[in-house]
Chains A and B, each alone.
Chain A
Amino acid sequence: MGWYNKRLAKSIWVFHMSGSPCNNCDIEILDLLTPRYDLERLGIKLVGSIRHADVLLVTGIFNQKVAPKLKRIYEQAPKPIFVVAIGTCPASGCCFKDSYNAVAKREDILPIDLYIPGCPPKPEAMIEGVAKLVEVLNG
């Protein structure tokens, strides 16, 4: 899929999905679109439907109620799709890993390609993460 990925890297459309986060990473994602960071200048656009997306941004520990819905949304996505996990929660569970309502293995729900840790990660860190993804896509 090398030729396809290269074309994908020119303008990444992202869909944002929250799997029981504390809202902070979600706000920082929106922050990326506003004048100070303005990711749209790099061709990155937030879209309203998973069917238009190339990259799926996911935040939070996944709780047991939301996990099947996350899985269903991932299944609806046109492939190839790259899943980027934002924040410490999807990476390690942060302080919620002992919760009775968290899924035990997040890898089973979504195959995550890229982790951007931080609580919340700084916008600069997220931009760097996206830049790395573009690098990988370009081969």
Chain B
Amino acid sequence: MNKNQIPVGPFHPLLEEAEYFNITVEGETVTDIEMDIGWMHRGHEFISEQKTFTQSIFLVERICGICSTSHPIACVHAIEDIDNVEIPLRARYIRTLVAELERIHSHLLWLGLAGHFIGYDTLWMWAWKYREPILQMFEIISGNRNHYGMMRVGGVARDVDVDKIAALSKILDQVDEKMEMIAKAANDDPVLKSRLQGVGILKHQDAVNFCAVGPTARASGVKIDVRKDEPTDAYDLVDFKVIVLKNGDVYDKTVVRLLEIFESSKIIRQCMKKLRTANGPILNSVKEIPPGEGIGRYEAPRGEVFHYMRSDGSNRPIRHKVRAPSFNNIPTYIASCKGIPLADALITLAAVDPCYCCTERAIRINHSAEGAQPIDLLRLSREKTERIRRTIHGA
């Protein structure tokens, strides 16, 4: 059969960010996928090495707009690891509270986009509608909807006082109710189930070989979660489960994320309860960073964020390395996309919740691909959902 190449991107209606895929197909089946990235490279590591430690935290927050708490947390962990800085108890709870809120907002965002890609715009509108109260909570805590600026070396920048907690828990109650409705609606729908089950399977061994992290790995039965493996902040003080499923298909990845939303809300409640009583300072002032090196990591919504800092005793890092979770997860496309129909490729690509801004901190229009037929992947994906819906509902 003839091999065809389908160029996608860098600017394509299905992509929020600029990225480029070259998908090789034989008939309807995907045989190879090639990626070209670099369209978002801004040189964070280089800029960070010219700034002071406190300024670096501001900078890493702007690596990605979705994980804008995970990167600062990992960064301050790295700096604290150089000197084993103690963090006050109240600050630990506040860090966990903000980070878990971010996980809910990120997973809802993904759920909405996944719904959009398979032609379920209702799910998209729902998920994004109920994400708004979370952003409102962030506004109450930090004053901004995204980019909160909460993290400092040795603690947090702002306190969450009792009045705020009362307002927050009221909003969280409403969100929880709606979340259950969405989870039920998504779980009970036979169309959604047959559309996603068995699609884009990432085998356990592949997940290990590609060093996948986060929900992508956990859906394939790899039990890793930085929150449990190396509990920092308040994670050793709160009670939660790590969700691990074994099939590795898109459906399992969806379920992992949905269940994690509930776990997060459980953690947030525990934190809020403790914050009502645990008084004390929120910031240990750190005068200087001694020479040495430190590794900081944190479980972002997409997986493990890794920061490495090296200091020579001055007020600037001499090396700052950032590794975002998507950097490890995106190469798994090579394993999960092979042999699947083209209409499923889109949702498989979306299933790892790729974040290119993170990956590149740093994608190409292929000039040689002239003559290749541009195919609307979004339309293909939606038509397949429609076909399944017709067969199930017999319309």
The reply to whether the CB of B291 lies closer than 8 angstroms to some CB of chain A is no
Tell whether A9 is near chain B: CB-to-CB under 8 Å: no
Are A73 and B11 in contact, CB atoms less than 8 angstroms apart?
yes
Question: Do residues A23 and B66 form an inter-chain contact, with CB atoms below 8 A?
Answer: yes
- Interface secondary structure of A, over-half rule: loop
B40 within 8 A of A: yes
Nearest-neighbour CB distance to chain B for A27, whole angstroms, equals: 6
Contact status of A95 and B59, CB under 8 A, knowing A63-B39, A101-B42: yes
B364 to A, closest residue via Cβ: A65
Cβ distance B116 to chain A, nearest Cβ, rounded Å: 9
| A51–B162 CA distance with the chains assembled, in angstroms | 53
- Proximity bits, B4-22, A CB within 8 Å = 1, else 0: 0000001101001110000
Mark A59-71 against chain B: 1 for CB-CB distance below 8 A, else 0.
Answer: 0110101100100
Q: With a CB–CB cut-off of 8 A, which chain B residues contact A49? A: 13
> Which listed residue (B13, B16, B41, B63) contacts A22, Cβ 8 A?
B63
> How far does the Cβ of B376 sit from chain A's closest Cβ, in whole Å?
9
In the assembled complex, B128 has its CB within 8 A of some CB on chain A: yes
Taking a contact as CB atoms under 8 Å apart, the answer to whether B42 and A102 are in contact is: yes
Does A28 contact B10, Cβ atoms closer than 8 Å? no
Nearest CB of chain B from residue A102's CB, rounded to whole Å: 7
Whether A22 lies near B47 (C-beta < 8 A) is no
B161 CB to nearest chain A CB (Å): 24
Q: Provide the residues of chain B in CB contact with A27, threshold 8 Å.
A: 16, 65-66, 109, 146
Using CB atoms, name the residue of chain B closest to A60. Answer: B40
Asked whether A23 and B41 contact (CB < 8 A) given A35-B128, A48-B13, the answer is no
Chain A residues contacting B16 (CB-CB under 8 Å) are 18, 23, 26-27, 30
Question: Given that A23-B65, A24-B146, A27-B109 are contacting pairs, would A66 and B18 also be in contact in the complex, using a CB cutoff of 8 Å?
Answer: yes
CB within 8 Å for A26 and B68 given contacts A17-B11, A65-B41: no
Give the CA-CA distance A8 to B10 in the complex, in Å. 28
Tell me whether B47 and A99 are in contact (CB under 8 A): yes
Complex CA–CA separation, A35 to B126 (angstroms): 8
- Contact indicator A120/B145 (Cβ below 8 Å): yes
- Checking B39, B47, B364 against A20 with a beta-carbon cut-off of 8 angstroms, the contacting residue is B39
In the complex, chain B residues whose CB is within 8 Å of the CB of A102: 42-43
Task: Identify the closest chain B residue to A25 (Cβ).
Answer: B65
Given the complex of chains A and B, what is the CA–CA distance between A137 and B17 in angstroms? 29
Other-chain contact of A24, B10, B147, B362 (Cβ < 8 Å): B147
> How many residues on chain A are close to B (CB under 8 Å)?
38
Number of A-B contacts (CB under 8 A): 114
Assembly CA distance A31 to B65 (angstroms)? 13
Once bound together, how far apart are the Cα atoms of A73 and B10, in whole Å? 11
Nearest A residue to B58 via CB reads: A95
Whether A122 pairs with B145 at a CB distance below 8 angstroms is: yes
Say how far A5's CB is from chain B's closest CB, in angstroms.
26
Shortest Cβ gap from A119 to chain B (Å): 6
The reply to whether the CB of B230 lies closer than 8 angstroms to some CB of chain A is: no
What 0/1 readout, one digit per residue, does chain A (23-53) give for beta carbons within 8 Å of chain B?
1111110110011100000000000110000
Instruction: Give B315 Cβ to nearest chain A Cβ, in Å.
Output: 17
Q: How far does the Cβ of B257 sit from chain A's closest Cβ, in whole Å?
A: 17
B125 within 8 A of A: yes
CB < 8 Å neighbour of A95 from B47, B64, B357, B365: B47
Q: Which of B39, B50, B364 has the most chain A CB atoms closer than 10 A to its own CB?
A: B39
Residues 163-208 of B at the A interface (beta carbon under 8 Å): none
| C-alpha gap A61/B357 in the complex (Å) | 12
Question: Cα distance A61–B13 when bound, in Å?
Answer: 21
Bound: A36/B133 CA distance, A: 10
Interface membership of chain A positions 81-122, coded 1 if the CB is closer than 8 angstroms to chain B and 0 otherwise: 000000000000011101111100000000000000001101
Q: Any chain B CB within 8 A of the CB of A21? A: yes
Q: What are 21 A-B pairs with beta-carbon distances under 8 A? A: A18-B40, A20-B40, A21-B40, A22-B65, A22-B357, A23-B17, A23-B65, A25-B65, A27-B16, A27-B109, A27-B146, A34-B125, A34-B132, A72-B365, A94-B62, A96-B43, A98-B47, A100-B46, A101-B42, A102-B43, A120-B65
- A69-B18, A102-B42, A122-B145 given; name 5 further pairs at CB < 8 Å: A30-B16, A34-B128, A66-B40, A94-B62, A99-B47
